[in-house]
Structure 1
């Protein structure tokens, strides 16, 4: 009886303490399994693009570009972009530098009309661009740093395309579906600020407490089922006796 009483009290009070978070976990799990991740990432709004072949004519050597900019480069990547062939130079220290492979210099600044057109060219769906703005600091939801272009579309999900100010590439996509999903993800891992850390003490502690609810629940079930079986056997003996 002492074990039953102790298990009952632990189960009741711990469940009361963590019940709301368990509700968030279940709700978050439902959202994350019900909404396809491709929809969250707005992949259905990405227009299929024909690969653009790299243009090697007139491409400057990365070593010469690095020397001109006094960079100690650890890696150089040549790629096609909406604005032409580009070198992405990753220095030993610091952030990658993107330059035109033809000129060795940074691409000219994008204007609003060009950014809008590039986003529209990359978009698939029934929406049209409604707002284009160059943000001096990338929003947290992009996971990027530095300036970034944001082009909003008036589709059902209120999709936003974020473009690189250097190359005009769509570096990430966000929508109200993504924000809804992200809200429940943050609740799920209890990191409302950044939505990245799922190893912090609060989450670990609540998970441990939830584990104790399961254990005490099994103990209560075992005791109650055993008691019910004993009562059933006693009644059966009385009827047969």
Structure 2
């Protein structure tokens, strides 16, 4: 009886403490399984692009570009962008440097009208692009740093495209669906500030307490089933 009483008290009070978080875990799990990840990432709003071939004769060689920038890259990527071919050079320290592969110098400033046009050309759907805004610092939801162009569309999901200020490429897509999903993800991992850390002490403690609820619940079930079985046999005898 002492074991039953102790298990009942532990089960009741611990469940009271972590019950709301368990509800968040279940609700978050439901959201994350019910909404396709492709919808969360707005992949259905990405227009299929025809690859633009690089004309190598117009592209400056990597040693020439890196030498002009006085930079020794640990990684170099040549890619085609809406504003022409670009070299993306990653130095030993610091952020990657993006320059035109034709001139070897940084791209000219991207104007708002061109940013809206490039966003619209990368988008498919019923929405109309709003006025492009150059943000001096990328919002947390982009997972990036530094300046970034933002273009909002008027579709039902309130889709947002974030574009590179250098190349005009769409770096990140966000929407009301993504923000709804992200809210429940933060609740799920108990990191409301950044939504990134799922190994912090709070969630570990909450998980251990939840495990104790399961264990005490099993003990209670076992004791009560054994008691009911004993009563059943006593009645038959």
TM-score class normalised by the smaller sequence:
over 0.9
CA distance in 1, matches of 2:218, 2:54: 63
Paired residues of 2:116 and 2:130 also in contact (CA < 8 A): no
Aligned residue pairs total 237
TM-superposed deviation, 1:127: 0.3
Matching residue of 2:211: 211
Matching residue of 1:31: 31
Matching residue of 1:45: 45
Q: Provide the secondary structure at the position in 2 that maps to 1:85.
A: strand
CA distance in 2, matches of 1:131, 1:222: 64
Greater displacement, 137-146 / 58-67: 58-67
Matching residue of 2:54: 54
Q: Which runs of 4+ in 1 moved over 6 A?
A: none
CA distance in 1, matches of 2:10, 2:16: 10
Matching residue of 1:123: 123
Paired residues of 1:131 and 1:153 also in contact (CA < 8 A): no
TM-superposed deviation, 1:205: 0.2
Matched, 1:111 2:108: no
TM-superposed deviation, 1:131: 2.8
Matching residue of 1:199: 199
CA distance in 2, matches of 1:92, 1:71: 9
CA distance in 2, matches of 1:134, 1:208: 46
- In the TM superposition, what whole-angstrom CA distance separates every residue of 1:60-84 from its partner, at most 9, and x where no partner exists? 1111111111112111111000111
Q: Provide the secondary structure at the position in 1 that maps to 2:74.
A: strand
Matching residue of 1:79: 79
CA distance in 2, matches of 1:39, 1:16: 36
Greater displacement, 60-69 / 96-105: 60-69
CA distance in 1, matches of 2:166, 2:160: 18
Alignment of 1:87-236 (within 5 A): 87-236=87-236
- In the TM superposition, what whole-angstrom CA distance separates every residue of 1:174-220 from its partner, at most 9, and x where no partner exists? 00000000000000001101000000000000000000000000000
Matching residue of 1:4: 4
CA distance in 2, matches of 1:130, 1:50: 25
Q: Provide the secondary structure at the position in 2 that maps to 1:131.
A: coil
TM-score using structure 1 length: 0.97
Paired residues of 1:83 and 1:167 also in contact (CA < 8 A): yes
Greater displacement, 184-193 / 45-54: 45-54
Structure 1 residues not aligned, in runs of 5+:
none
TM-score using structure 2 length: 0.99
